Chain A
């Protein structure tokens, strides 16, 4: 079988996930093609974060199939660390390594996982710091940066691994309002460059301008998948309408 550009890079089929008796994901199926930008939204507790955390196996799903870049995640012959190194992830709480400078945060994984030498890893790190527009912060510790700066460092850290896909788990939810746009700007740049992205976010402006598809989740299910225009102008499902009326009311 020859690889086709339209072949999906991520496929979820009938994925179920339980936390004890609570079912966090119910029969979730989703397919993402290379270069696609997916925005996932929905009320809190709807399973959005759980879904993207299953994609790099930070959570293990209980049944169904998840295939990332050709690797079936439950297949024991796959090295999960290797699969994860192809998937960048950005967290709500940044999760920068507090004991390392910004530069060392960026160099750690390329050095350890990709076995890049020190000079090349540093060049790579500086290049990505430039891209997220904070080259001057290279030698600072995370605590010395603002929230927006920290999140941009976290994006750069993920990009240093040259991932095939980027996952964003509410990347702007922990930020002060005035810092949200500097992070979204970087994400928009990334989208324009053709990165495959799955973003859990409540930033509906970002969804409108960047998303190829908007996925609406509620109660652990994917309720509706639509292009952004259709999603915002003429949502079909009642739950989607209710959600949109709540978040767009102000």
Chain B
């Protein structure tokens, strides 16, 4: 097998033209997913069954079905529903970019809410009691005691999820978006050189993963500054 180095040198800049779109998908979905996850988390730990059960059902559905299926349902399925075409969401769901962000956010939100719940459950019960005994209200305990400690506990699993989300953005290419994966597929279709192109693309994703891991490493060290003897 010949390995066409010139093709790689030629294609990498082209694929990097899609980096902006990949990053937009990643950052928007991560932020929206985190907001959704926080709402789901609060529903899960509210102690009220009429909030907890819908959140559980949501999480079950979105964790239990493939992300690709979810993307297709949003992209191909939603436009067939009249009320969606008439709603304020239509300007977003009319565009493949909007569909990809919505599907990725809905999916990652389900995972991240469970990651955050693990963090919340990991906070020592004695600390809640100490807060209660000092007269702190439930809200104050959640904000000043539970949240900072739960965030610290959730970082490793959350950083995993962000890496996973970054890789999922490649699926946006299946609904016509020209992110890095979309561009790579176009080049492969023109050149019939899948090895060179996809291996170069894999390296680009690996480099992005490295940056994400480093960033979370810094964040984790900052959040654990109280743990150093």
Q: Interface residues, chain A, CB within 8 Å of chain B?
A: 56, 58, 81-82, 84-89, 91, 93, 95-101, 108-109, 112-113, 141-144, 154, 157-158, 161
Would A91 and B229 count as touching, CB distance under 8 A?
no
What's the Cα separation between A84 and B128 when bound, in Å?
Answer: 13
- Asked whether any CB of chain A lies closer than 8 Å to the CB of B160, the reply is no
- Asked whether any CB of chain A lies closer than 8 Å to the CB of B186, the reply is no
A76 to chain B, nearest CB (A): 16
When C-beta atoms are compared, the residue in chain B nearest to A161 turns out to be B134
Would B145 and A89 count as touching, CB distance under 8 A?
no
Cross-chain contact of B134 among A99, A113, A143, A144 (Cβ < 8 A): A113
Would A85 and B134 count as touching, CB distance under 8 A?
yes
Cross-chain contact of B144 among A56, A112, A158 (Cβ < 8 A): A112
Number of A-B contacts defined by CB within 8 Å: 76
Would B135 and A113 count as touching, CB distance under 8 A?
yes
- Asked whether any CB of chain A lies closer than 8 Å to the CB of B226, the reply is yes
When C-beta atoms are compared, the residue in chain B nearest to A92 turns out to be B126
Cross-chain contact of B226 among A86, A112, A141 (Cβ < 8 A): A141
What's the Cα separation between A113 and B132 when bound, in Å?
Answer: 11
What's the Cα separation between A120 and B179 when bound, in Å?
Answer: 56
Q: Tell me the B102-141 residues at the A interface (CB within 8 Å).
A: 124, 126-127, 129-137, 140
Produce 1/0 per residue, B137-154, CB < 8 A to A. Answer: 100100011001100100
A-B contact pairs, 21 of them (CB 8 A): A56-B132, A58-B133, A81-B137, A84-B132, A85-B134, A85-B135, A89-B130, A89-B133, A91-B130, A96-B130, A97-B130, A97-B144, A98-B127, A99-B149, A108-B136, A112-B144, A113-B136, A143-B226, A143-B228, A157-B134, A158-B133
Would A158 and B227 count as touching, CB distance under 8 A?
no
Evaluate whether A58 and B135 lie within 8 angstroms (CB atoms) in the complex, with A95-B127, A97-B127, A112-B144 already known: no
Would B135 and A93 count as touching, CB distance under 8 A?
no
Size class of the B contact interface (CB-based, 8 Å):
20 to 34
What's the Cα separation between A168 and B216 when bound, in Å?
Answer: 41
Would A98 and B149 count as touching, CB distance under 8 A?
yes
B218 to chain A, nearest CB (A): 17
B80 to chain A, nearest CB (A): 50
What's the Cα separation between A203 and B207 when bound, in Å?
Answer: 61
Evaluate whether A99 and B148 lie within 8 angstroms (CB atoms) in the complex, with A91-B126, A91-B129, A143-B226 already known: yes
What's the Cα separation between A158 and B132 when bound, in Å?
Answer: 12
Name the A residues within 8 Å of B145 (CB-CB). 97
Name the B residues within 8 Å of A85 (CB-CB). 134-135
What's the Cα separation between A84 and B133 when bound, in Å?
Answer: 6
Cross-chain contact of A143 among B129, B132, B148, B227 (Cβ < 8 A): B227
When C-beta atoms are compared, the residue in chain B nearest to A101 turns out to be B226
Would B134 and A109 count as touching, CB distance under 8 A?
yes
A202 to chain B, nearest CB (A): 20
Name the B residues within 8 Å of A161 (CB-CB). 134-135
When C-beta atoms are compared, the residue in chain A nearest to B130 turns out to be A95
A90 to chain B, nearest CB (A): 9
What's the Cα separation between A143 and B212 when bound, in Å?
Answer: 30
What's the Cα separation between A7 and B134 when bound, in Å?
Answer: 25
Would A95 and B129 count as touching, CB distance under 8 A?
yes
Name the A residues within 8 Å of B132 (CB-CB). 56, 58, 81, 84
Given A97-B144, A109-B135, output 19 extra A-B contacts at Cβ < 8 Å: A58-B129, A81-B132, A84-B133, A85-B134, A88-B133, A89-B133, A91-B130, A95-B124, A95-B126, A95-B129, A108-B134, A109-B134, A109-B136, A112-B136, A113-B136, A113-B140, A142-B226, A143-B227, A158-B133
Would B135 and A84 count as touching, CB distance under 8 A?
yes
Name the A residues within 8 Å of B144 (CB-CB). 97, 108, 112
Would A81 and B136 count as touching, CB distance under 8 A?
yes
Name the A residues within 8 Å of B127 (CB-CB). 95, 97-98
Determine which residue in B127, B130, B226 has the highest number of CB atoms from chain A within 10 A of its CB, and name it: B130
When C-beta atoms are compared, the residue in chain A nearest to B124 turns out to be A95
Name the B residues within 8 Å of A158 (CB-CB). 133-134
Name the B residues within 8 Å of A157 (CB-CB). 134
Would A87 and B133 count as touching, CB distance under 8 A?
yes
What's the Cα separation between A141 and B144 when bound, in Å?
Answer: 16
